[in-house]
Amino acid sequence: MCGIIGRAGDGDALASLLTGLKNLEYRGYDSAGVAVRNRDGIDVCKREGETDVLDAAVAERNLTGDSGIGHTRWSTHGAPSDANAHPHTDEDGRVAVVHNGIIRNYESLRRELREDGHRFTSETDSEVVPHLVARELDAGATPEAAFRTAVDRLEGSYALAMVVEDDDAIYATRHGSPLVLGVGDDGNYLASDVPAFLEFTDRVIYLEEDDLAVLDEEGYRLTTRGGETVERAVETVDWTAGDAQKGVYTHFMRKEIDEQPASLRQTLEGRSEGPEAVLEGFPPGSLSEVSDVVFVACGTSYHAAMYGSTLLRRRGIPATAMRANEFAHDPMPVSDRTLVIAVTQSGETADTLASLRVANGSPARTLAVTNVVGSSAAREANDAMFIRAGPEIGVAATKTFSSQVASLALLADRLYADGAGIGADAGVRMPATSMAEGSSTTDGGTEAGTIRSLPEDVETVVNDGGASRLAKQYADADSYFFIGRGVGYPVALEGALKFKEITYEHAEGFAAGELKHGPLALVTPSTVIVAVFTGRDDERTLHNVREAQTRGAPIIGVGPESATEIREAVDEYLPFPDTDPELAGILANVHLQLLAYHAAEIRDRAIDKPRNLAKSVTVE
């Protein structure tokens, strides 16, 4: 979850490193540091706090260097402090290393190194690496050989970058944590994520598992862990530097909420032109052998997976969503006709990758639904579908949820059209409940015209100012409960997650019918109930709302524009354009994103960098 940046090339590296760290703040923010190589050796500056604190310290030191590495940290081993900040060095300062991940055998390595006379100055697992390298250098190894030997001793997950005094190169490798190489005209870059160096180059190489990279001013060289030279494709990303910058916005989160109409257009482009979904890599009939679907995901992606599983079940296709951190250790039974879908924005979420690897070791077919071309999930799954949402910098996911759900709706239609489901090969299908009363769907799928109107409908919601007013009106509440039914249930969970992530207030999400089975005991006049209505089974949800109303709870309804009865029954109402009930959750969710955003803004929270959280969770 930490951020790594490196640069080797012409001119001073420091400005590029500091820019990269600023761009990587969403990956970690409790400390930051840089190490640059110059004529005096390795010069390190690191500070607890955000990157602005480091900027001031660097300015006082007047650091310069023609190559270097940097790091922004999210703590796992050791509390935030100057000593625990990266880069870490050996005791003589010859070697500097930055690390993302967890070295599981660090305690035994530390004991071994201490017995050899090495002294440690931090509580981190990462500090063992420069000491391992230094020991090999003392034995006469070259920096590259020393780095290889050190890495061979490590157990766990890691992305590593290293500089050594009197050596022009940066050495890097990855195992279970992402690293991407940026190929520039005036230098080469290394980072945890593309936005770190997007201002300098859009040409990238996604390092594969156990690749080892050597960067210097002449270029780069890639080898396997064993030293065999490998070639990796150079790809051009279609993001611009402006995509990864706030521009006129105060927060990335608000920018990314407002970008949802554009990101949805990208998601749907070329995929929803006719009556059937057209998915690249999935021609008609390609999913006909699928009998059942298992989703694995974490956090916001898990809520999108729940939404997707509901859509599939409504089409008569058995589907289950499991939290990846559970599936990896307690997987459900699968067959050679099961499709396991890993939903992950970054494609690098450690728990989701662990589940994907478990599934890859089973008879099941695997599919990654991700935002990042070249990510680990995209490479390791049998197939990949890209949500095409563009870069998302804010820790609280917004536009990627909308694009994930839209992508899964298209995938659900493709599976249905291909005849997927139990007994599909014999012409037998479970009843598709999407044709039930209250749904505008008549063929087991979402209406193509309706899904094409999603960007415009979302834009209508984004321009609605109601959430700002309600955030102020209910700012003094003790708790916020979000309820929903059907596709409204995962949206309620997602709304509660967004609210608690960035406001630090107590918020919970419930299936609407579950409110009376326990949670109602917590409802008081100081408990705001936010109820999601989709145009399907709304009378049942309204009954649950009235149960809370009789306990004095104020009710905020979020539902279709034309739902007059609901509007009159609740205290406040956030409307969205009438649409297919299967897609209504996407529109309702935008209102909930804005409600959380404005509630956090009132409280002066760190909206883009909420406490204790980081964007891409690359450790289990």
> Residue 427: which region, alpha, beta or left (left: phi > 0; alpha: psi -120 to 50)?
left
Comparing CA positions, the residue from 11, 9, 13, 8 lying closest to residue 34 is 13
User: For the stretch 584-606, what's the b/e string if a residue is b when 16 or more beta carbons lie within 10 angstroms of its beta carbon?
Assistant: bbbbbbbbbbbbbbbbbbeeebe
Dihedral sign computed on CA atoms, order 19, 23, 24, 29: positive
What separation in angstroms does the CA of 560 have from each of 402, 584, 585?
18, 8, 10
Whether 615 is a known active-site residue: answer: yes
Contact 529, 520 (CB under 8 A): no
Contact 184, 191 (CB under 8 A): no
Residue 306 backbone dihedrals phi, psi, to 5 degrees: -60, -45
Comparing CA positions, the residue from 276, 264, 291, 289 lying closest to residue 414 is 276
Q: Which amino acid is at 540?
A: R
Other beta carbons within 10 angstroms of residue 531's beta carbon come to 29
DSSP string, 184-234: -SSEEEEESSGGGGTTT--EEEEPPTT-EEEEETTEEEEE-TTS-B-----
Both structure tokens of 594: 């804005």
CA distance 223 to 97: 19
Whether 45 is a known active-site residue: answer: no
- Exactly one of 2, 45, 46, 255 is catalytic; name it: 2
Comparing CA positions, the residue from 543, 546, 507, 512 lying closest to residue 527 is 507
CA distance 129 to 145: 14
Sheet holding 95-103, edge to edge: 88-89, 95-103, 156-164, 170-175, 212-216, 219-223
Residue 8 backbone dihedrals phi, psi, to 5 degrees: -135, 130
Give burial (CB, 10 Å; 0-12/13-18/19+) of 476.
Answer: exposed
Contact 588, 559 (CB under 8 A): yes
What separation in angstroms does the CA of 150 have from each of 8, 67, 96, 413, 592?
22, 22, 13, 50, 48
DSSP state of 466: H
CA distance 364 to 24: 36
What separation in angstroms does the CA of 79 have from each of 31, 83, 128?
10, 9, 17
- Exactly one of 46, 399, 609, 615 is catalytic; name it: 615
Comparing CA positions, the residue from 75, 71, 349, 101 lying closest to residue 196 is 71
Known catalytic residues are: 2, 615
